[in-house]
Amino acid sequence: MATPSPGYAITVRVETPSASGATSALVTAVTSAGGALTALDVVESHAARLVVDLTCNASDATHADAIVTALRSVDGVVVRKVSDRTFLMHLGGKLEVVSRVPLKNRDDLSRAYTPGVARVCMAIAEHPEDVRRLTIKRNTVAVVTDGSAVLGLGNIGPAAALPVMEGKAALFKQFADVNAWPVCLDTQDTEAIIAIVKAIAPVYGGINLEDIAAPRCFEIERRLRDELDIPVFHDDQHGTAIVVLAALTNALRVVDKRIEDVTVVVSGVGAAGHAIITLLLAQGVGNIVACDRHGALEAARVGADESRQWIVDHTNTENRSGTLAEVLSGADVFIGVSAPRLLTGADIATMADDAIVFALANPDPEVDPLEAGQHAAVVATGRSDFPNQINNVLAFPGFFRGMLDAGAREITREVMLAAAGAIADCVAEEELNASYIVPSVFDPEVAPAVAAAVRAAAVRDGNAAPVADHDAVEMGALDEESIPTYEPQRAAEGAGHVR
């Protein structure tokens, strides 16, 4: 499974004798150690010695050390410095604040700050609905975490979670021109998190909850949705569910099966599993069997966990029981959001003909994709080094773009289904095959398509804020037409911002 990855890229600066074949010996050392050489640059040349930068990908930190050791073993070579390219990217953080307006002279300053800004403050105080057009709120999202369930790293706390949240914010900007900012909270108390997010909400047009452990994440999201007038979205749940449904829609097209006819086995009943099951049921999937680490979920094991009880009440219509491998027999679809190496190729072989396998545990999936591919018709993972990567970046940038543009206050099942359909439809019929069921995360058509579908669904739901003719309709666009105008009568009534 371990292959060299850009995530473990290093640059090694070495000195080597300038004799003929010197660089060839360096290349041989890297490749013989299993490294993937991506660049070789001579940075200094002298009569007797060369200084060379070798950039290569490793499979993990231990493998990177082995590559360096191999270089040190070459006769006459001195390793000057080893740079981890991932750490270099994170030096100083990945985000910055940039002004959208010029501040070059006193006139600019008097409008952007005092005294002119006071007029805008009073306008918003008297007409709070104008805050979306006169501040950053219209296009800004808070990425909120408590650091309790970060990637596959577990409960590492808010400071250690910050690089992930920075990355999330960068993706929002890159793919949908949404300004997002990390909010890493030094508390894992449910009531405290709810109170803090409510207190900071006036600045933001939406809240993206991230990497908050189940079952607390369910209560936090439910309460914030009830108590705020902006969309609240837990990406670990709903972003994953949207992309899984999009991928399943196209995978079923490949194998020519209908969603209402298939049996789906879901491994993992935490935040992602619960949301996937909920959305698949909304789309009309035939039968779902949910499994935890002990096997098929049963009422006797759920205890006081309301989310698991809901799953028991709404799934497994055939009353299947047994281990994950046992209930997988005869199933059409496997979706794993759980733990690595739970299944073997032999287990996949027991599934129905033209089986679909989504093994999404990261970095090591529930079953080796190569083994699964020997028996399943379609295989997807969460990894970038295999076809059909199920990646939330296909969903959340465009999803929030659409919600913000619509001025939507609530995330409904209909907007999530619309987003999934838009992602699936980004793969044209002539492109669709077993190795291409979802578009690339770099496909520039995806975020606009998702945004348009979400915006339209929000309008159909009656979930969009009233939009004036001058409001922006392009993704994230604002121009002079969006500046509110006030009638003299309104000013005379004490609006305070027309003199």
Q: Show which residues are catalytic.
A: 113, 168
- CB-based contact 59:3 (threshold 8 Å): yes
What radius of gyration, in Å, describes the C-alpha atoms of the chain?
Answer: 26
Residue from 423, 443, 450, 433 nearest 247 by CA: 423
Give DSSP secondary structure letters for 463-489: -SPP--TTS--STT---GGGS----HH
Angle (CA) 31-34-38 rounded to 5° is 55
Counting every residue, how long is the chain?
499
For residue 130, the 8-state DSSP code is G
- CB-based contact 78:15 (threshold 8 Å): yes
Name the one residue in this structure whose structure tokens are 């047994």.
322
Residue from 270, 264, 335 nearest 307 by CA: 270
Conformation bin of residue 390: beta by default, left when phi > 0, alpha when psi is -120 to 50: beta
What pairs with residue 42 in β-bridges?
52
Q: Where are the beta strands (DSSP E) in 338-389?
A: 356-359, 378-381
- CB-based contact 405:455 (threshold 8 Å): yes
Give DSSP secondary structure letters for 177-205: --EEEEEE-S---HHHHHHHHHHHGGG-S
Dig out the tokens for 7 from the structure: 């995530």
Helix boundaries (H) for 256-384: 271-282, 299-302, 306-314, 324-328, 345-349, 369-373
CB atoms closer than 10 angstroms to residue 431: 11
CA torsion, ordered 427, 429, 431, 437, to nearest 10 deg: 50
